[in-house]
Amino acid sequence: MCGILGITCKNCPRKSEAFYKLMTCGNDISHRGEQAWGILTSDGKSMFCHRDEGRFSEGITEKKAAALARKMQGGSGLVHTLYSTVGKGGKKQPKNIQPWTANFHGKPFGLSYNGNIYDLSLLRNRAKERGWHFVSDVSDTEVIVALIATSQQADFIEALKEVLPMLKGAFSLVILYDGKIIGVRDRCGIRPLCIGHNEDSFILSSESCAFYPVNAKFIRQVRPGEIVIISEKGIEKYIKWTNDTSYKFCIFEFVYFARPDSILCNNRSAYYYRNKAGTILAEEAPVKADLIISAPAGGDIFAEAYASALGIPLRQGLFKNRYGIRSFMAPRGTDRRKLQRIKSHPLGEVIWGKRVCIVEDSIVRNSVCPETVMMCFEAGAKEVHVRVGSARIKYVCYCGVDMSTSKELVAANFSLEETREQIGADSLAHISTEGMIKATGLPRENLCLACFDGNYPITPPVEMT
């Protein structure tokens, strides 16, 4: 899961106008990837890029920002925030940090990508035969860039139309070429991408929350199978790169990834889902407890709605360090489970002697929830119950979310009762898949639910079949 963003501005009052706008808006997609980030600007002739490890803008002082602004001129540009689902545990591949850049018939273009392209060997070989020398062994982004750069089509959009049907998987792209930003979505619109504008700029972003700081308004989503070309004057053209389309939006964006203030699919926000899901969860799996507490911050909206529907007080029983912790700050050997203890602390004054119910957004691996339950018992809870705002995740995702092996998924390997025992809770219940669909307010056929029900919207990779 990554964040992608592109901006094009007209009548730029400053030469570094796009840089400052990208820095402002990029901050609002930083939650989508904290491993690395990159920013690219163009003055129409040249491109200027800065890439770094860590969270968006981490380590950028005022002085460094001013120096970058002097270098990164132009009225259009891209941002990428990286959450890598490839190349983990192997050698470090700094070239994976996006945006990527290359030339198309001598003219530079930049590309930011969110998703997962699979069955890559054929495509890598095709690009190699066309003369591309790969710098990364694992980057699917480089494969897309290589195929565009080596296309023999005379026109950039024609090259894109030639390459996109070759890509198997889920993807959203924002491309910078010739001073224009180009938004692309896969045939099922699995990963998000939307368009916004204010009086002097047009923006493409993974999430609409990035529009707010520059007072831009949401226009619409980029549609499945669509290419949208935007110049400084506005939307120049939108075309279909395929007619074989259907809407299968990733429901996990509603559950976990997206910010609650983002409009995701058919004008539904992540807040809408979480609020509804909390209420439905209360109908499907009520609890006898003295207090509802959220597993912060993902469980907050679910917990609010759940508590309100049951008429049970909602209290802050777990305090989350608002500045978070980077994994390198934790003592050596700290696993996900122990990291949870470092990230949030129980409030004994709230929990002691009480029957508490923790509301979580999801349970993927059995790493975080057992520690949260134990922390509540250690703080003196009499009973600890767990309720979850998404169904059990039984199947892997190959569409860009870091759930790629079934052995890591607790629900793929253990029954609900076994999971409850491992978590150490007095009771455990999830919202049903039907309840989740209802909470989106969208028809089932517009959603990808594959990690919950195993019905994949696009053909699985060869290695999975």
Contact yes or no for 265/446 (Cβ under 8 A): yes
Helix 140-149 vs helix 156-163: crossing angle, to nearest 10: 130
Catalytic machinery residues: 2
> Minimal distance in Å, beta carbon 452 to ligand SF4?
7
Residue 190 vs 428, nearer CB to ligand SF4: 190
Contact yes or no for 173/113 (Cβ under 8 A): yes
> Minimal distance in Å, beta carbon 25 to ligand SF4?
24
Residue 75 vs 400, nearer CB to ligand SF4: 400
CA distance 22 to 245: 31
Q: Which residues here bind ligand SF4, judged by CB under 6 A? A: 190, 250-252, 397, 399, 401, 448-451
- Strands 234-240, 226-231: pairing is antiparallel
For the chain, the straight-line distance linking the first and the last C-alpha, in angstroms and rounded, comes to 23
> Minimal distance in Å, beta carbon 395 to ligand SF4?
7
Residue 314 vs 451, nearer CB to ligand SF4: 451
> Minimal distance in Å, beta carbon 400 to ligand SF4?
7
CA distance 80 to 197: 19
User: CA 66: distance to chain centroid?
Assistant: 29
CA distance 226 to 120: 22
Tokens 């990834």: give the residue.
257
> Minimal distance in Å, beta carbon 441 to ligand SF4?
16
Handedness of CA 339, 344, 350, 355 (dihedral sign): negative
> Minimal distance in Å, beta carbon 449 to ligand SF4?
6
Residue 23 vs 170, nearer CB to ligand SF4: 170
Residue 423 vs 450, nearer CB to ligand SF4: 450
> Minimal distance in Å, beta carbon 401 to ligand SF4?
4
Residue 18 vs 450, nearer CB to ligand SF4: 450
CA distance 259 to 255: 10
Residue 386 vs 399, nearer CB to ligand SF4: 399
